[in-house]
Amino acid sequence: FNVSTRLVLISTAILLVFGTLAFYAMEKDALLANMSGPDALLHSLFFSITTRTAGFETRSTALLSMPTVFFAFLLMWIGASPVSTGGGIKTSTISVATVHIMNLIRGKNKVEVFGRTVSDDTVARAYSTVLLSLLAIFSGIFALLFFEEKPFIDIVFEVVSAFGTVGLSRGITAALSTEGKAVLCIVMFVGRVGSMTFLLALVPRARPVHYTYPTEYIVVG
């Protein structure tokens, strides 16, 4: 397997295991209280999978506790893997960003994984995708709050679910106005094609230049 495939497989496995255990821990005394251990774990595994792309539910998302809802935001935001029908920022994007942060903590300037160095362009695209996705989500939340008078947590859930093209809802989708549904359609389109791809299609590319300016280090963080 190449580096990209390894990152996708490992990140997917981590998300499945971590998502299953987290959902079980947060809902074992609530939504899963009346289930046997194996059934509760199976429902937890299904939740970990469905929040990243599938959109099916074995228990209504409106019954989830607040910690579980916020955890679902994370899974829906990450979404599926590249070259799939799912949305979100993709598992490879979060993997590259995570590995880069780990390398920076260890004092490395390059992203090194599995005996390979990830290109600077890939790292820049990963962080750009993360930032643009947050901008798209916040813009969608603001627009939906402007058009709708619904509970804040339900609106956030709708927008993040739309960005990840997940299909889950806390029950307000049908009650949204035409403007609200249009907002969700736009957010879903951006989440599906990718925030970077969406902007690249709208913004003209800069012409190549044959010079560079002096390097400057800026204090950040």
Summarised one tens digit per residue, pLDDT across range 110-143 is 888 888 898 988 999 999 899 999 999 999 999 9
For the chain, the distance separating the N- and C-terminal CA atoms, rounded to the nearest angstrom, is 36
User: What is the residue type of 40?
Assistant: A
Q: Can you give the pLDDT at residue 18?
A: 95
Domain edges within the chain: 3-89, 131-202
Cα 218 to Cα 121, 215, 221: the distances in Å are: 20, 10, 10
Summarised one tens digit per residue, pLDDT across range 170-195 is 989 989 999 999 999 999 988 888 76
Q: Is 113 helix (H, G, I), strand (E, B) or coil?
A: strand
- C-alpha 30 chain-centroid distance: 26
